[in-house]
Amino acid sequence: MNRKKIILKKDDIDILKESLSELEKGFKSLPSFKSVSGNKKRIQAVLKEAAQRLQNNFPYFHPLYAGQMLKPPHEIARLSYILAMWINPNNHALDGGRASSEMEKESVAGIAKMLGWKKHLGHLTSGGTMANLEALWIAGQINPGKKIIASSQSHYTHSRISNVLKLDYESVDCDESGRMNIGDLEVKLKKRNVGTVVVTIGTTAIGAVDPLEDILQLQKKYKFRIHADAAYGGYFTLATNLNPYIKRIYKLLPEVDSIVVDPHKHGLQPYGCGCILFRDPAVGKFYKHDSPYTYFSSDELHLGEISLECSRPGAAAVALWSTMKLFPLIKGGEYSLMLNASRKAAFSFYNKLKNDKRFLTGPKPELDIVTWVPLASTITEISLLSKRIFNECAKRNLYLALAELPIKFFNLKDKNIGLDKKTVTCLRSVLMKPEHNAWINPIWKILDEATKSSIRKVERK
Ligand SMILES: Cc1ncc(COP(=O)(O)O)c(C=O)c1O
């Protein structure tokens, strides 16, 4: 039998046609009209060229892409986003997207519930950066003239956003596991000029979870606001195979003042979907503005009244709503098992690396990110070898990531390595696809070959 190789899932387009006919039924009282859409042949030709241009990409959708924080949208999200494109609603105001605004409110309430909040104020954003910007913008208004502080492993966006908002920013050290160093935090808090501490629930580079337990204790003494950047790690609150430390942190998450979670990271959504949530709905007053040209249709909440961005894609809300309908955010449910699988994948990969004398692992994964270095005689040589292995893997269709991390993240003691640098270029894998767990052996096989070949090349020099 001549079986065709399928790389991209294309047959789901049939479901889209069916749902478009259903959508059309809602508008059947309108007279038909001829749209000014272009000539089909020319559209086809341009689309073909676009498809050819898009071949110039890493295969983010494939399990052999095991590098940066990239997870393909689920087909339900892809299809419902495209379905909504025929309407192209704008969730700024109810006039622009009545149904999709409702879907956004329901989805955001679902995320708040997942995090443990019965009451909240929140909305979707274009991504984690905008969501964090709103959190720090509110924080700056509640504690004017006071500092924002975050760990040296927090996302770079916090120092940059603070700069945009003209808020003072200071960075706190990390310990060897990449978590915020509580001793250094207290040194900073003693100066009594800190208004907000940003707690990262899953750092971008290694997935470390900051010690919220200790930070909440310090809050009692020093009084500050806590913002949790859970852009990457937020959904893991649903995983059932977390270690006891992480479990305790997720349990405490409802005690913070604001939380960012990005559905476009772990939530199976296409890009353009972040989410900001505030515990106290009264912060809505800081968003107050007058607009002479929108909000005509009702007294109900228009999402533009509680968001900094004006026009926003209703399609993002439709995609998220549909995904949450298919995969309810339930501990132990189908989606929760996908997160468990990512953690399992990270552990099984980490254990393989740990048991191989050629490598040294970074901190034990707290979520689903693994970091490691190949051993060599100096830090400079380790960094060069990491880059070589990265390239050799890519030649064999395995796509990893590189990261520059403090050497203290790797246990280099008694290894007889010349410590000629403070940071090292390491290899990094975010194993966030549900499929990754079944692909650890093929990934390992390629990494093994690529490492042997890289070491051979170094020895030949
Ligand atoms: C912890 C964290 N915060 C914020 C961001 C920024 O999010 P975005 O890229 O959606 O703007 C990222 C991105 O990786 C992140 O990992």
Q: What is the pLDDT of residue 3?
A: 66
In the sheet with 401-406, reading across from the earlier edge strand, the strands are 359-361, 369-374, 423-430, 401-406
pLDDT category of residue 343 using cuts at 50, 70 and 90: very high
Query: What is the whole-number distance in angstroms between the Cα of residue 292 and the centre of ligand 1?
Result: 34
pLDDT category of residue 249 using cuts at 50, 70 and 90: very high
Is 210's C-beta closer than 6 angstroms to any atom of ligand 1?
no
294 pLDDT higher than 60: no
Helix or strand (DSSP H, E) at 274: strand 274-278
Is 172's C-beta closer than 6 angstroms to any atom of ligand 1?
no
Q: What is the pLDDT of residue 354?
A: 97
Contacts 24+ apart (CB under 8 A), 27-32: none
pLDDT category of residue 428 using cuts at 50, 70 and 90: very high
452 pLDDT higher than 80: yes
1 pLDDT higher than 60: no
Is 207's C-beta closer than 6 angstroms to any atom of ligand 1?
no
Q: What is the pLDDT of residue 299?
A: 67
Query: What is the whole-number distance in angstroms between the Cα of residue 233 and the centre of ligand 1?
Result: 10
Is 229's C-beta closer than 6 angstroms to any atom of ligand 1?
yes
CA distance 320 to 270: 9
Query: What is the whole-number distance in angstroms between the Cα of residue 444 and the centre of ligand 1?
Result: 28
Is 67's C-beta closer than 6 angstroms to any atom of ligand 1?
no
Is 127's C-beta closer than 6 angstroms to any atom of ligand 1?
yes
Which of 8-22, 76-90, 139-153 is the least confident region? 8-22
Strand bridging mode 369-374 / 423-430? antiparallel
Is 151's C-beta closer than 6 angstroms to any atom of ligand 1?
no
Q: What is the pLDDT of residue 2?
A: 54
356 pLDDT higher than 60: yes
Whether the Cβ atoms of residue 236 and residue 250 lie closer than 8 Å to each other: yes
Residue nearest to atom 16 of ligand 1 (CA): 204
Q: Dihedral of the CA atoms 58, 61, 63, 64 (nearest 10)?
A: -10
Three-state SS sequence of 284-326: HHHHCCCCCCCCCCCCCCCHHHHCCCCCCEHHHHHHHHHHHHH
pLDDT category of residue 35 using cuts at 50, 70 and 90: confident
Q: Dihedral of the CA atoms 375, 380, 386, 387 (nearest 10)?
A: -160
> Does residue 292 or residue 405 have the better pLDDT?
405
Is 401's C-beta closer than 6 angstroms to any atom of ligand 1?
no
Whether the Cβ atoms of residue 427 and residue 390 lie closer than 8 Å to each other: yes
Whether the Cβ atoms of residue 416 and residue 378 lie closer than 8 Å to each other: no
Residue nearest to atom 14 of ligand 1 (CA): 204
Q: pLDDT for 173-219, tens place per residue?
A: 999 999 999 999 999 999 999 999 999 999 999 999 999 999 999 99
Domains and CATH numbers, the chain: 84-288+300-326 (3.40.640.10), 334-460 (3.90.1150.10)
What sign results for the dihedral spanned by CA atoms 25, 27, 29, 31?
A: negative
Residue nearest to atom 5 of ligand 1 (CA): 128
Q: What is the pLDDT of residue 437?
A: 97
Q: pLDDT for 181-193, tens place per residue?
A: 999 999 999 999 9
Q: Among the atoms of ligand 1, which is closest to the Cα of residue 203? A: 1
Helix or strand (DSSP H, E) at 147: strand 147-151
Average pLDDT over residues 346-375: 98
442 pLDDT higher than 80: yes
Whether the Cβ atoms of residue 165 and residue 329 lie closer than 8 Å to each other: no
296 pLDDT higher than 60: no
Whether the Cβ atoms of residue 411 and residue 360 lie closer than 8 Å to each other: yes
Query: What is the whole-number distance in angstroms between the Cα of residue 68 and the centre of ligand 1?
Result: 12
Query: What is the whole-number distance in angstroms between the Cα of residue 129 and the centre of ligand 1?
Result: 6
Q: pLDDT for 257-288, tens place per residue?
A: 999 999 999 999 999 999 999 999 999 999 98
- Locate 411 and state its tokens: 């246990």
Q: pLDDT for 93-136, tens place per residue?
A: 888 999 999 999 999 999 999 999 999 999 999 999 999 999 99
CA distance 413 to 424: 15
Q: What is the pLDDT of residue 116?
A: 97
**What integer best gives the mean pLDDT of the chain?**
95
The residue to mutate among 156, 161, 204, 430, having the most atoms of ligand 1 within 8 angstroms of its beta carbon, is 204
Residue nearest to atom 7 of ligand 1 (CA): 128
Q: What is the DSSP string of 308-375?
A: S-SS-BHHHHHHHHHHHHHS---TTSHHHHHHHHHHHHHHHHHHHHHT-TTEEE-SPPSSSEEEEEE-
Average pLDDT over residues 31-48: 90
Q: Please report, for residues 204, 329, 372, 441, 454, the alpha-carbon distance to residue 181 in angstroms, rounded to integers and kept in the order given.
A: 17, 32, 22, 36, 36
Is 69's C-beta closer than 6 angstroms to any atom of ligand 1?
yes
Whether the Cβ atoms of residue 133 and residue 113 lie closer than 8 Å to each other: no
Q: What is the pLDDT of residue 291?
A: 67
Query: What is the whole-number distance in angstroms between the Cα of residue 402 and the centre of ligand 1?
Result: 17
Q: What is the DSSP string of 178-216?
A: SSB-HHHHHHHHTTS-EEEEEEEBS-TTT--B--HHHHH
